Amino acid sequence: MSLRSRYKLLQLTSFFAITCALAYHAHADDSKTRNKDFSSVVAMENAWVSPTQKGQTVGSAYMTLTSKQDATLIKVESNVAKAVEIHSMSMERGVMKMRMLDNLVLSAGTPYQLEPGGLHLMLFDLTTPLKVGGEVEFELTFKNQKSETFKQRIRAKIRTEECANDAHAHHGHH
């Protein structure tokens, strides 16, 4: 075998070894989070979505999030919107300001209320009208302090704010 052939064989062998090592580590890292049960890390309660008017392409969703451990909400997806963003609202010099947040940091044991006039989810480019009585599915992606990502799903009823407040009030009496 010529020196040039040996060199090419060494290159191919090295490439193959590195590729196998990377694939193994990627699989090992993936299996760390895949085999853990994160289904009850974040309690998601009182979820509801505001109904929309005909032709409206933007909606809003609300819920209470309480995490058992420090975690960060990093992404939200929905079956009725092309994009979902986390937003905050605050009063500044008598003017209501709304801002998109890149994420929402959740401290362990602290309930975070996503509600009208405060933190909430904005649904953009709705694919269907949101009618009272319907349901919207959400998939929320979180990251914990170990940088493990996990997803949780929730269904939210489409209802008016008054109905949502009534349902929340009755829920508290049980």
Q: What is the pLDDT of residues 26-42, one digit of tens each?
A: 444 444 445 466 667 89
Q: How many Å apart are CA 87 and CA 108, to the nearest integer?
A: 21
pLDDT at residue 38, rounded to an integer: 65
* Backbone angles phi and psi of 60, in degrees to 5: -140, 150
pLDDT at residue 161, rounded to an integer: 85
Does residue 53 surpass a pLDDT of 60? yes
Q: Are the C-beta atoms of 47 and 61 separated by less than 8 Å?
A: yes
Q: Are the C-beta atoms of 96 and 89 separated by less than 8 Å?
A: yes
Does residue 173 surpass a pLDDT of 70? no
Does residue 135 surpass a pLDDT of 90? yes
pLDDT at residue 24, rounded to an integer: 42
The SS3 assignment for 60 reads strand
Does residue 82 surpass a pLDDT of 70? yes
Task: Please name the amino acid found at residue 42.
Answer: V
Does residue 23 surpass a pLDDT of 60? no
Q: How many Å apart are CA 46 and CA 64, to the nearest integer?
A: 6
Record the pTM: 0.73
